[in-house]
Structure 1
């Protein structure tokens, strides 16, 4: 595991993929080259998906909100994960109006540019946006970009925050 971390993270490769410097097929090929053996995409995708855990309670909350409000995801992830996630979870399309991957916008959170590019894609103003993230630095970045932001801690806490912001009617 230390070798995988060193090969993928310590070299800056993952950072490059999150900025969109590699497409999905190039990521698979490069990982194989770095590991010194061919890697099958079908073998790699489950490992990539493991880095994007889905909280079903949160997804249920998003579904409730999506009935009356626009919803979106902004994630610091690469194009391989985008393809794998959208293939594995087609239900996301019905809950999120937009799913924005940093690799597609060539900017990562907490940089203000990531928020500006995402707001442009979702056609929203900072003042009409609530950003939720489990990272203090990402929340701080959103706040600096003029976006109301909340740090995610649990589905229960999120429900309370959504109600406080008038996005969830408690039903």
Structure 2
């Protein structure tokens, strides 16, 4: 891709498969009736944004889930299992694909995440791939709960741009969420909407002449 020198990748459903329907079903089993409104890809209860920006702790998040389910007897383990049902895993050879991209571009990860999911993911990649974190796959990996900011707010993109002295006109952002794409555009970034399964990441990058 001409003039692009830097690429910022989303994580969920770009590199790592997630499934909102599984979590909706799990939350329904906990006793939360209005799951389509409570937790969905494009719209959800404010507790999820608050958790992704570390405005609430894991204990406070679990308390909110108990309140939504109207069940104070739900255990931490039950809530975490339901919440982590969202997480499927890294698709195909995407870790190798990322290393190939890194040879040609400065690359970054920018993920809306939270402490419970982050801990699960770190344990998963250690167990399945023998890697401790994403330090080797990106110049820097950014997670919303560490930044206390989240996509699609323009300030999270501006922080990544500023900290790494990126020229937005030379920087591409790849995400599966249209609302996040719009936030990136406000920061002046080039964008690509990931509209295929994450196992097709390599094909997607070749299709758009990135690899």
Cα distance in 1 between the residues matched to 2:173 and 2:180: 9
Distance 1:122 1:22, change over 3 A: farther
From 26, 44, 55, the counterpart of 1:21: 55
Q: Secondary structure at the match of 1:72?
A: strand
Q: Does 1:36 align with 2:72?
A: yes
Distance 1:72 1:46, change over 3 A: farther
Q: Secondary structure at the match of 2:174?
A: strand
Shift of 1:58: 3.5
* Residue-by-residue CA offset, 1:77-126 (whole Å, 9 max, x unaligned): 22222222122224351323322222222222222112112333445332
Greater percentage in strand: 2
Shift of 1:150: 0.6
Q: Does 1:81 align with 2:110?
A: no
1:149 aligns to what?
A: 191
| TM-score normalized by the length of structure 1 | 0.74
Q: Does 1:51 align with 2:71?
A: no
Q: Secondary structure at the match of 1:149?
A: strand
Shift of 1:149: 0.9
1:160 aligns to what?
A: 207
* Residue-by-residue CA offset, 1:61-86 (whole Å, 9 max, x unaligned): 21211234332221222222222212
Shift of 1:151: 0.9
More divergent stretch after superposition (4-13 vs 140-149)? 4-13
1:140 aligns to what?
A: 182
Answer yes or no: is the 8 Å Cα contact 1:28–1:40 preserved in 2: yes
Answer yes or no: is the 8 Å Cα contact 1:8–1:14 preserved in 2: no
Q: Secondary structure at the match of 2:32?
A: helix
Gaps of 5+ in 2: 1-27
| TM-score normalized by the length of structure 2 | 0.62
